[in-house]
Structure 1
Amino acid sequence: MKKVTTSFLEFRGSHAQFGFEQGKRLKDSALEKNYQRVNQPRKRPRYVVDANKAEKTIKAYMPHLWEELEGLSEGLKLSLEETVRNYSGYQQEWHPSGCSILTGRDYLVRNYDYHPKTYEGRFVLFQPQHGYATIGPSQRITGRSDGMNEHGLIIGYNFVHRRKPGDGFICNAITRMVLETCKNSEEAADMLKRVPHRHSFNYVVFDRFGKAKVVEATPRGVVVKDEPLSTNHFDILQEENRYHLDDSRRRKKLLVEEKGRLTSPYEAFRLFNDKAKGIFSEKYTQWAGTLHTSAYLPKELAVWFAVGSDREPFILSFKDWLQGKDTKIKQLIGYLNTDEELPFMES
């Protein structure tokens, strides 16, 4: 059993200032050292990012993200080219992973399943000068593994496969772009159809009007459907599916069966977070263990969050934060049943 700390980062201001502040905090940290180690070209010979092409593409979809990368570069005292390679979310790689998502009348609940060594332990609240304010756990520093914005738009993703990658953005960068530029599920689905995708994922979007959509997205095509839940396979783009889908289908069948019995967001949270219920996973060595459970309530602009199984959710009012009330929270503590390393906590 490993203790996991999640640090809170709250910032109001420009993207450039935000990037610089993050860079100062990250410089010489265990997390930044780990990214430097795993992203060395000699260790990842196929991992190449054209900085000029990245700049042009990022500016086409979210220009202020480029300003954040410039600030991050300055704060880290790292070249812009290396910062783009490590943290832009453009043309990066992604290992196979899990994840399950369910929406109800007034909530979205999600398990983020991946390898512990990829976790950052950062929960970010950001109110930019340009773009919508957002809340959620970070991934690859500038990206988000899931989140909600000031309009109550929520998004999360589920891995499907990484075969035949395209020129485009990885999942957490796309999540960030949607949150900062879209107001509702319709706008989010439209952006997911336009943005270039690096890999194949299901994206689930949900808004304060109760509209849920699942977007099956690949480098070769995107399909939008009205559906309240998702795991790790496509229903329409079936030719894109992996061969080993038993657990994904098992979880989806369980979610379909349980959805009608759930009477509250708390019951949905328990379905996802209680190990005995069958959605929470401890397959950490297989890159499919649950790292956190998050629930978003768009009408209340509230977030529930927990790291590890069988935990009570920490409840955070994003609405209060948007009105200028800081959380004053430094860290949350959780526990994962694994012996795998957590590099962001270990030097």
Structure 2
Amino acid sequence: MNDPIVKVEKLSHRYSVQWAIRDIDFEITKNGIYGLLGSNGAGKSTTMNIMCGVLKQTAGNVFIRGINIRDNPVEAKRHIGFLPQKPPLHVDLTVEEYLRYCARLRHIPKQEIEKAITDVMGRCAITHFRKRLIRNLSGGYQQRVGIAQAIIHNPEFVVLDEPTNGLDPNQILEIRKLVKEIAEERTIILSTHILSEVQATCDHIRMIEQGRVVFAGTVDEFDNYIIPNTLIVTMISMPPADELRSIPGIAGVEELGGPKYRLKFTDGQDVKERIIETSVARGWRLTEIFAEKSSLDAIFAELSKK
């Protein structure tokens, strides 16, 4: 099929009189992990719930493989797997009983259900817990069961809402690894407000603030959204700060301790070359020079205007 995996057109929704999202547009044409980033209340959950057919939008359209989810929700949902922020688990069932129940909800043919359960338990590394009550599993394994129900029908498009929320550091690493493995065969949208989660897991980012898309691009493009204006330099023979300030294009000098300086520059075109040339001429013995990237927090703040 040549249709985009997901296409969102002029999507808008309001609760009572307040708009939660306005005129959201984006398209996903290839597999990978797409981070849906934004601060709390930005409109992420509203967007996801509409995309998964949980909420009916006020205006606009969502197409899953060319199928309009508002006009043909049952057919569109065949292509979708969804893990809400709170996994929809029936904790008094065993893992196997719960996944059989989910398989029936997904209209998997009766003769294929056992194979689907076996396959998904193997994929999510929960086979050894198949007879255990879900309430007796750790948080990390309950999350694995939640992911298993989202992919048991082998959907092309999977939406995960805060999949590592509330987990300990080891469980977070395990879930990240699982998500990356699942993404090898399908498209995943991962909603989060945790910047390190995006950096560690995602290939692409869509950022929503105040109900509108404010950024769409790769993680590298997000990292470089703010053009660097500082350099970190290391010199064995430390010059006085005034000498560094005298180099054309240098607007400020900060001593970082030892042989390191942070140099703020206004003219990025040739400032590195000028520093290198001056260091050679004056015997400063420059050993390191690199542009200092803005932190993810700074980029997030810039995009969200906070």
TM-score (normalizing by structure 2): 0.30
The structure that has the greater radius of gyration is: 2
